[in-house]
Chain A
Amino acid sequence: MSTTTHPALLLDGVERTHGTGPTAVHALRGVSLAVEPGELVAVMGPSGSGKSTLLNVAGALDAPTGGRVLIDGQELSALGRKQLDRLRRRTMGFVFQDLNLIPSLTALENVSLPLELDGVALRTARAAARAALDKVRIPELADRFPEQLSGGQQQRAAIARALVGDRSLVLADEPTGALDSTTGEAVLRTLRQQCDDGAAGLLVTHESRHAAWADRVIFLRDGVVVDSTGDAATPESLLDRVV
Chain B
Amino acid sequence: MSSSGERMTDHPIHENHAIAGYFGAWRLSLRLARRDIRRHRGRALLVVLLVGLPLLIVAAGATFAYTRDVSSKEGLTRTMGAAQAYLYPVDQWQVRQSPDGSTTGGDGLLPRASTLPGARPGRAVTAAGLQGVTGGEVLPVSNRSTRVQFGDRKISAQVLGIDGRNPAYRGMARRTTGRWPTTPDEVLVTRAGKARGIPSQGRIRLSEAGKIRAVTVVGTAAAPGAEALVALPVGADGWLLKRDTPVDWAEVKQLNRYGLVVQSRSVIEHPSQAANDGPAQRLSYDANPVPASVWTLLAVGLVIVIAMLAGPAFGASASRQRHALGLLVSNGATRPQLRRYLLGQALLLGAISALVSIVAGAVVGWAAIRVHVAMSPTAVAPGPLELRWRSGVLLLLIAIVASLVAAYIPAVAAARLRLIEVLRGQVSPRTVRAGWPVAGVVLAAGGAFLLWVAIVPSLDAGSRNVSNLPIIGAIGLGAAALFGGVLMTTPWLLAQLGRAAGRFPLAIRLAARDVSRQRGRAVATTAAILGTAALCCAALIGYATVQRDYAAEYTPQLPMGQASVDLYGDSDAAAAERVVQKAIPRAEIAAVSVLGSRPTLGTSSEWGVAMYSGTCTDQEAMQAAASDSCHIVSSPLAGNTIVVGDVDDLARVFRLSDTDRRQLRDGRLLLPTAGRRDGPTPMHVVTGTVDRFGDDRVKVAASKVLPAIASTQSSLTYAAPKDDTYVMSGPFPAGLATPAAVRGLGAVSVARLVISAPGGVSADAQRTIAERIDDADRFCVERGYQDDNRWVFVIIGAVFGLLLLVATLVSTAMSQAESRADSATLASIGAPGRTRRAIAASNAAVVGLVGALLGLVVGLVPGIAAARALTGGFGGRSAAVIPWGPMLAVVLGVPLLAAILAGLVTRGRPPMTRRTT
Contacts and interface: CB of A to CB of B under 8 A. Distances in A.
Interface string A37-73: 0000000000000000100100101100000000000
Interface residues of B, number: 32
Q: Is the interface of B mostly helix, strand, loop or mixed?
A: helix
Interface stretch (B222-230, B672-680, B689-697, B824-832): B824-832
B912 A61 contact: yes
B917 interface: yes
Contacts of A35: none
Given A102-B822, A104-B510, A147-B426, A61 B830 contact: no
Interface in B89-120: none
Interface of B: 421, 426-428, 498, 502-503, 506, 509-510, 513-514, 516-517, 821-822, 824-826, 828-833, 835, 909, 912-913, 915-917
A100 B828 CA distance: 10
Interface residues of A, number: 33
B830 A88 contact: yes
A89 B828 CA distance: 9
B815 to A, nearest CB: 11
Interface in A75-130: 81-82, 85-90, 93-94, 96, 100-105, 109, 113-114, 116-118, 122
A89 B829 contact: yes
Given A19-B917, A56-B913, A122-B503, A61 B514 contact: no
A62 B506 CA distance: 26
Contacts of A118: 830
Contact of A62 (B502, B909, B912): B912
Contacts of A117: 506, 826, 829-832, 835
Given A100-B821, A104-B517, A114 B915 contact: no
Contacts of A116: 506
A206 interface: no
A163 B821 CA distance: 21
A47 B578 CA distance: 96
A86 B913 CA distance: 19
Q: Which 8 A-B pairs have the closest CB atoms?
A: A89-B830, A88-B830, A104-B513, A100-B825, A61-B912, A147-B428, A85-B830, A62-B913
15 contacts: A62-B913, A81-B909, A82-B832, A87-B830, A100-B821, A100-B822, A100-B825, A100-B828, A104-B510, A104-B516, A105-B509, A109-B509, A113-B831, A117-B830, A147-B427
Given A18-B917, A19-B917, A103-B427, A114 B514 contact: no
A161 interface: yes
B915 A102 contact: no
Given A100-B821, A104-B517, A105-B510, 8 more contacts: A18-B917, A56-B912, A81-B909, A87-B830, A100-B828, A104-B498, A113-B829, A117-B506
A88 B835 contact: no
Contact of A102 (B421, B826, B912): B826
A19 B824 CA distance: 22
Nearest to B823: A102
Contacts of A103: 426-427, 517, 822
Contacts of B498: 104
A161 B829 contact: yes
A133 to B, nearest CB: 16
A9 to B, nearest CB: 16
A238 to B, nearest CB: 27
Nearest to B915: A18
A103 B825 CA distance: 11
A19 B44 CA distance: 30
A102 B832 contact: no
Best-buried of B426, B513, B828 by chain A (most CB within 10 Å): B828
Nearest to A101: B825
A102 B509 CA distance: 12
Contacts of A86: 830
A89 B832 CA distance: 10
